[in-house]
Amino acid sequence: MRNERGSNIRHIFLIPLSLLLLIPFYIAVINAFKTREDILANPFSMSIGNLTLDNFLRSAVTPSFNIFKAYWTSILITSVSVVLLILLCSMMSFVFARVQNRFLSICYLLLLSGLMIPPQVILIPLVKVLAKLGLMFTPQGLILYNIGFYVPFTVFIFVGFIRTLSRELDESAKIDGASQLTIFWRILFPLLRPATASAVIFLSLWIWNDFVNPVIILGSTKSYTVTTGIFQAVGQYSTNWEDVFALVVLASAPIFVLYLFMQKQFIAGLTEGSLKG
Partner 1 sequence: MRKWFTMCMTLLILSSLLAACGGNSSGTKTNDPAKPADNGTKTTDTKDVEIVFQSWITPNLTVAYYDSLINRFESENPGIKVKRIQPPANEGNPDSYLKSLLASGDFPDVVQNATIQMFVDADALLEIPIDDDIKKINNYEAEMINGKLYNISAIRQPQSLIFYNKKLFAEAGIESTPKTWAELEAAAEKLKAKGITPLLTAGDWTAGFTFSVMTSPDIYKDNKNWYADRFDNKVKFTDPNWIESATYYTNLVKNGYFNKGVLSIDYTAVEQEFLKGNGAMYPMGSWFSAAEANSKKDFEVGVFATPTKDGTQYLLGGENSGGYAVAKMSNHPEAALKFAKFMMLDPEAHKGILQADALFSNLKEPLKWDMSPLQTEIYELLLKNPPMVGHMNNKVGRVPVSGIQDQYNKVAQNILLGDTDVAKNMQSLDEYWDKNNK
Partner 2 sequence: MNKNDRWAYTLMFSPGILIYFCFLLVPIFLLVYYSFYNWDGISPSYSFAGLSNYVEAFHDKAFGRALFVTMFITVVATLVVNILGIAFAVLLNKKGRMTNFYRSVFFFPLLLSTVSVGFIWKSILSYNGLLNNLIEQLGGERIEFFGDPNLAVLTITFLAIWQSTGFVIVIYLAGLQSIPLSLYEAVRIDGANRWQQFKHITFPMLAPAFTMSIIFMFTGSMREYDRVAVLTYGGPAGATETIAYQVVKVGFNANRLSYSASLAVYMLIIVSILAVSLTVYLRRREEKLL
Interaction residues for partner 1, span 153-212 (CB under 8 A): 211-212
Does position 95 interact with partner 1 (CB under 8 A)? The reply is no
Among the residue ranges 46-54, 55-63, 65-73, 251-259, the one whose residues contact partner 2 (CB under 8 A): 251-259
Binding mask 73-102 vs partner 2 (x if CB under 8 A, - otherwise)? ---------------xx-xx-xx---x---
Burial 42-62 (b: 16+ CB within 10 A, else e): eeeeeeeeeeeeebbeebbee
Q: What are phi and psi of 138, to 5 degrees?
A: -125, 150
Give the end-to-end CA distance of the chain in Å, rounded to a whole number. 24
CB of 126 to partner 1, least distance (A): 9
Query: Which residue in 121, 176, 221, 237 binds partner 2 (CB under 8 A)?
Result: 121
Does position 63 interact with partner 1 (CB under 8 A)? The reply is yes
What is d(CA 186, CA 167) in angstroms, rounded to the nearest whole number?
A: 15
What is d(CA 16, CA 12) in angstroms, rounded to the nearest whole number?
A: 7
DSSP-based three-state secondary structure for 30: helix
How many residues at the interface with partner 2, by CB under 8 A?
Answer: 88
- 274 makes contact, choosing from partner 1, partner 2, none, with CB < 5 to 8 Å by partner type, with partner 2
CB of 49 to partner 2, least distance (A): 23
Q: What's the chain's Rg over C-alpha atoms?
A: 23
Does position 179 interact with partner 2 (CB under 8 A)? The reply is yes
Q: Which residues pair with 63 in a beta bridge?
A: none
Does position 60 interact with partner 2 (CB under 8 A)? The reply is no
How many residues at the interface with partner 1, by CB under 8 A?
Answer: 35
Which residue from 144, 51, 265 is spatially nearest to 136, judged by alpha carbons? Answer: 144
Does position 123 interact with partner 1 (CB under 8 A)? The reply is yes
C-alpha 58: how far from chain center: 28
Does position 141 interact with partner 1 (CB under 8 A)? The reply is yes
Give whichever of 126 and 157 is closer to partner 1, judged by the CB atom. 126
What is d(CA 57, CA 246) in angstroms, rounded to the nearest whole number?
A: 9
Which residue from 84, 90, 89, 82 is spatially nearest to 192, judged by alpha carbons? Answer: 90
Query: Which residue in 116, 168, 175, 220 binds partner 2 (CB under 8 A)?
Result: 116
Q: Which residues bind partner 1 (CB under 8 A)?
A: 62-64, 123-124, 127-128, 130-131, 133-138, 140-141, 144, 211-212, 215-216, 219-222, 228, 231-233, 235-239
